[in-house]
Amino acid sequence: MEPVKAVTFDFWETLVQDSAENLRGQRVLRIGALQDVLGRAGRTLSESEVEEAYNRSERLLDERFWSRHRDPLIEEQVRLVLDTAAPGVTAGLAPALFADAVAGYIDPVLRLPPALHLGAAEAVAGLAARGIALGIVSNTGRTPGVILRKVLERHDLLRHFRVASYSDEVGYRKPDAEIFHRTLAALGAQARAAAHVGDNPVADVRGAQGVGMRGVHFAAGGAPGATHADLVVTDLRELLDRLGV
pLDDT by residue for the chain (245 residues), tens only, comes to: 789 999 999 999 999 999 999 999 999 999 999 999 999 999 999 999 999 999 999 999 999 999 999 999 999 999 999 999 999 999 989 999 999 999 999 999 999 999 999 999 999 999 999 999 999 999 999 999 999 999 999 999 999 999 999 999 999 999 999 999 999 999 999 999 999 999 999 999 999 999 999 999 999 988 999 999 999 999 999 999 999 87
* Most distant CA atoms of the chain, gap in Å: 62
Amino acid at 66: W
Amino acid at 79: R
Helices (H), 133-206: 145-154, 167-170, 177-187
Q: What pLDDT is stored for residue 100 in this prediction?
A: 98
Angle at 128 between CA 234 and CA 206, to 5 degrees: 45
What CA–CA distance (Å, rounded) separates 195 from 232? 12
Q: What pLDDT is stored for residue 51 in this prediction?
A: 97
Angle at 189 between CA 183 and CA 192, to 5 degrees: 105
What CA–CA distance (Å, rounded) separates 36 from 105? 11
CA atoms within 13 A on the CB side of 120: 27
What CA dihedral angle connects 172, 177, 181 and 183, to 10 degrees? 50
Contact 137, 171 (CB under 8 A): no
Q: What pLDDT is stored for residue 140 in this prediction?
A: 97
Query: Cα-flanking dihedrals φ and ψ of residue 45, to 5°?
Result: -130, 150
Angle at 219 between CA 214 and CA 224, to 5 degrees: 110
Contact 243, 4 (CB under 8 A): yes
Rg (CA), the chain: 19
What pTM does this model have? 0.95
Query: Cα-flanking dihedrals φ and ψ of residue 122, to 5°?
Result: -65, -40
Omega prior to 144 cis, within 30 of 0: no
